[in-house]
Amino acid sequence: MRQSTLTISILFLSLVSCGESPKKGNDKVEENIANLDTIAKIEVDSSTVEKEEEEEPFKLTEENAIDFFFDYAKSLKKNKVKITTNMGSFKIQLYDDVPYHKANFIYLAKQKYFDSTQFHRVVKDFIIQGGNSDDRNTARKRGKIGRYLLPPDAKKGYKHHRGTISMPSSERNNPHKLASPYEFFIVVTNPGSYHLDGSYTPFGRVVEGMNVVDAINDVPVGDGDWPWKSVYILKAEVL
């Protein structure tokens, strides 16, 4: 009888022991899950904070453009840009003492803004004008870079000789003839188009490949002086 009682007691203790183990295991699992939830929450909160701390992409505006290009010009040691088109290439040397326009042109070239734009206005024996396009990608690139104008800088003594690169005025309400920063024109008139002096800003000149400029000026055009066959700027690279 005693042996049976002892056997039952041992069996009972074993059952109790076996019954407690899963409970302790479940508690541990639940504790681990709670810890993982806490870690995940911390990581999510940290990610949210990082996103909140990220600055918005920099854009040029009429309020910050002058200060930006003033500082940007200080670091520029190069002053030549090679323009490659689907009709050939030519090189431009930019004037160091027209700092805002020089800095603007180099900045846009490094941002690859001019790539895939066109010479969209060609006036025979007068100018070729580039930097625009009917492609929506050009408008998107302008939107990313910013909306701004540049003040004229026509008192440095530079004239609109043949081969001069200058900047047109904005078509917006613009009594002060602020320059449209995304476009430029090159004079092909021989010896020059001096009636433009004082109204527009010469900021460089073609030093190589003027024959390509002349060839572009010779393409057939339609309404608005837009070439019948598109003349693309494939690449603008700072040398």
Other CB atoms within 10 Å distance of the CB of residue 210: 16
CA distances (Å), origin 205, targets 81, 161, 186: 10, 9, 8
pLDDT at res. 169: 82
Alpha helices in 111-152 (DSSP H): 136-145
Q: Could you read off the pLDDT of 200-227 as tens digits, one per residue? A: 999 999 999 999 999 999 999 998 899 9
CA atoms within 13 A on the CB side of 13: 5
Q: Per-residue pLDDT for 180 more than 50? A: yes
Q: Answer for the pair 189, 128: CB distance below 8 angstroms, yes or no.
A: no
Output the six-digit token pair for 62: 């009429």
Q: Could you read off the pLDDT of 115-145 as tens digits, one per residue? A: 999 999 999 999 999 999 989 999 999 999 9
pTM given for the model:
0.77
Output the six-digit token pair for 66: 């002058």
Q: In terms of pLDDT, which residue wins out, 41 or 229? A: 229
Lowest mean pLDDT among 10-24, 57-71, 103-117: 10-24
pLDDT at res. 34: 54
Q: In terms of pLDDT, which residue wins out, 38 or 123? A: 123
Q: Per-residue pLDDT for 155 more than 80? A: yes
